[in-house]
Chain A
Amino acid sequence: MTQDLRSLYDDMIVDHNRNPRNFKVVDPATATVEGDNPLCGDKISLTLRREGEVIVDIGFVTPMGRGCAISKASASLMTAAVKGKTVDEAERLFQAFHSMIISDVSAPVDVKALGKLVALAGVRQFPSRTKCASLAWHTLHAALTGTAAEPVTTE
């Protein structure tokens, strides 16, 4: 297997794909948003509960198993990263994550800001897959900013 592939499907990604964290529907929820990557059919349904500015609980499910390993692992890592964080902190993580996955392969990665989310840095080698990694984050962004009258899409 090539080095690039190992960096995309590293152990943490494979683990989060197989045993996704927060793979649940939060009930009661203060926000429910459907995310959709029409290019490849990836879909996630994100639910979260806010108390004031804090995300106290968050979960995701993939209807009909419509999620590739990258989108599922990314959603899993995201929920673990933002649970207990404030809206501002979550939005800053979104920005940092987004900057990372669209950055050049040789660009340095902000490990301090991103923590475990750097596991997805390998997606930079695979431009056709960056939307799989960003789907959960775009969906979260819509849930936090209340901009999701329609399902969120990566297109």
Chain B
Amino acid sequence: MAAVSRPAPAPAAPAAPAARGRAPGRFEVERLRSDFPLLATTARGRPLVYLDNAATSQKPRQVLEATDRYYREQNANVHRGVYGLSELATELYEGVRAKAARFLHARESREIVLVRGATDGINLVAASWGRANLKPGDEVLVSAMEHHSNIVPWQLVCEERGARLRVIPMDRTGALLLDEAEQLITERTGIVAIVHVSNSLGTINDITKLIQCARARGVPVLVDGAQAAPHLPIDVQALDCDFYVVSAHKMFGPTGVGLLYAKAALLEAMPPYQGGGDMIRSVTFEKTTFAPIPAKFEAGTPNIAGVVGFGAALDYVAALPWDQIAAHEADLLAYANATLAAIPGVTLIGTAPRKASVVSFVLDGVHAHDVGTIVDQEGICIRTGHHCTQPVMDFFGIPATARASFAFYNTREEVDALAAAVHQVRKLFS
């Protein structure tokens, strides 16, 4: 993975990670781990080994404290009250939108819609943009490695609009066949919806090239960035994508919060997704006019505490030593690949040249769920199953995989613990 840089921390960042300000060059994983209370707990009587970060990440105390402080000291509804407390809550909420815009390198804050998560963001685009723009005979182009959340919303709108889904194929390593992708983008293509980093294979897709190709033909592109956000720098202007979605909970923030980035002109033209309070300019029984973006897409009282917690996560992430983390995660990936592949009967699934720190594997003669149950007895949390990517499992002709997905706070010792537990699985089934 290339060296990465993150946006500078916001000036008012309340609490920086523990390692900040330490001597550069040496990655102090233990100091960072101490920010995450759950990592210090035990499971099944052993130190917890949490290797399911692609499902959700753990939360640093800075996030927990921000959420707690919000409810204790800052809670009021946003955008409504003329009293000080409501103004404070509004300021906090809108402040996170500004931080999110910086995180994604958006042009302006109003290009950020605060949603429930990446899934919610994709559904918003499919329902609002899709219904307004897809015509019978149009095609929605996705890839062979999409999460169900970037398949099903498009199937729903395709069915409604008489459009159809096309699929960019991949090779046996789990790398997309981008040359074929270019041929699949035609005058019939309504939109390209593509995952940045695969949750089940770890593949980092070369979306820059794909976006350029689609943009050159006037086709808008949505990028599912749920797995990219905790690992890679994201610059939506450099990418020139039209939509980008992120989940807070996969990048050390709370559940139930996410971002939809969309180019302002697209958001302006899109019809509302849900109706309710906060998204209107004026309502009569005869006619409603809508609020300007992004409020037009944020009906009802939002998850304010979650958004405030996400703000703390964005500050936390912005202050992390990202060059060191990129090297550390690359090391974990290489070490886990080598250690697990050395176990007789283990086959790695997903061996593309560019990968995030996600290792999927199968064990000869043993179903992934049995692997998951047995390693859990050692206090090790991994994900087993289809990872909401059933077409990927079908492609490889397997029912399920076991998946270890690493965050910057994981260690080589934790990889060793997993490998030892997988050896136990083999012994049990031998």
Contact = CB atoms under 8 A, between A and B. Distances in A.
Interface of A: 1-2, 4-5, 8-9, 14, 17-18, 39-43, 64-70, 126, 128-129, 132
Interface in B1-52: 44
A29 to B, nearest CB: 24
Interface range on chain B: under 10, 10 to 19, 20 to 34, or 35 or more?
A: 20 to 34
B367 A5 contact: no
Interface in B29-81: 44
B399 A69 contact: no
Contacts of A42: 367, 369, 399
Interface string B371-406: 001100100000011100010010001111000000
A69 B370 contact: yes
Given A1-B377, A68-B369, A40 B429 contact: no
B7 to A, nearest CB: 39
Contact of A65 (B370, B384, B399, B429): B399
A132 to B, nearest CB: 7
Contacts of A126: 373
A5 B370 CA distance: 10
Nearest to A132: B369
A123 to B, nearest CB: 10
B428 A14 contact: yes
A65 B368 CA distance: 12
A1 B373 contact: no
7 contacts: A1-B424, A40-B385, A41-B385, A41-B400, A68-B369, A69-B366, A132-B369
A112 to B, nearest CB: 29
B374 A64 contact: no
Contacts of B397: 64
Contact of B428 (A9, A41, A67): A9
A129 B399 contact: no
A69 B367 contact: yes
A6 B377 CA distance: 11
B41 to A, nearest CB: 18
B426 to A, nearest CB: 12
B72 to A, nearest CB: 35
B367 A67 contact: yes
Q: Which 4 pairs, one residue from A and one from B, show the smallest C-beta to C-beta distance?
A: A68-B367, A66-B399, A68-B369, A41-B399
A70 B370 contact: yes
Contacts of A67: 367, 399
A41 B390 contact: yes
